[in-house]
Amino acid sequence: MKKLLLFLFFTSSLTFLWSQNLQRIEVKGVILSENQDVEGVTVFNTSSNKGTITNSNGEFVIDVALNDRIEVSALQFNPITMTVNEDVVESKQMKVYLIEQVNQLDAVLISSGLIGNIAVDIDNVKVLPNLELNMGNMNMAFEYNDDKAFDNQVVSDHLNAVMDKGRFYNGIDFVQIAGGIFGLFVTPKSRKLRKNTTPLNHTPKDITNVFSHLYIAETFKISEEKVPAFMGFLESKEINPELFKEENKLQLIDYLMKQSSLFLELNDNKN
């Protein structure tokens, strides 16, 4: 037993003496990064339990020895651990390039009462009741009974002229939306008057009020510079106003297809 204790004491003494005799040298290092700030990065020597932090330029000074383990860490970087080799000891310099840390979030399940089956979810959607706004007596300064004050057709014609010369823009029926919004501000008395009045002429002045130049060029194979000439050609034909109605849109396209073929044929003959 005495021999075992003596051996352990001798071994621990050698270890203590070896650690005291281990000479560490001062090494100048720098932290490099492509995008992130390199100030305040922790550089820790786990072999000597001593560390430091970098300055505003990412520079630091630390004592190391051969085979010491150096840990470099910061919130914005992936932590790394490296071993001091002979090149570092001989050059007394250390360069560390850190990679920006990318935080990967865990998947989050958001529950909104839907089950994922579109048909079932649509059936389960609650339909809001009609909204009735009581505007009171507001006919003094504003003529809300004027048919043109909030006339849906006036709004429709204006939007058709602005939104790419057509009814739809990015798949949204702005005319229908605008009509529903403005319909909220029309009094019941005004609605009755509008039903009894003669409807406005819905016939556009030309095809460009229905289709844009780009649509005409791509659909009917007419170059964009010839679209104005094609418009003049159509005006000479006196298009039937009934074709401009929404329910006759396919007939209008069929008519334009035939007329575009005739127009292109006449132009080819001229050339």
Q: How confident is the prediction along the chain (271 residues), in pLDDT tens digits per residue?
A: 666 666 666 566 555 555 545 789 999 999 998 878 899 999 999 999 999 999 999 999 999 999 999 999 988 888 899 999 999 999 999 999 888 776 654 544 444 566 667 777 777 777 777 777 766 655 554 444 444 444 555 545 555 554 444 444 444 454 455 555 555 555 555 554 444 443 444 444 567 778 888 888 888 888 888 888 888 888 887 788 888 888 888 888 888 899 899 989 888 877 6
Enumerate the H helices of 141-219 as residue ranges.
152-162, 174-183, 188-196, 213-219
Name the amino acid, one letter, at 252: L
> In this structure, is the dihedral angle defined by the CA atoms of residues 238, 264, 221 and 231, taken in order, positive or negative?
negative
C-alpha R_g of the chain: 41
Cα angle 201, 240, 203 (rounded to 5 degrees) comes to 20
Residue closest to 30 by CA, chosen among 68, 49, 56, 51: 56
* Reported pTM: 0.34
Residue closest to 151 by CA, chosen among 209, 190, 189: 190
Burial 142-163 (b: 16+ CB within 10 A, else e): eeeeeeeebbbbebbbebbeeb
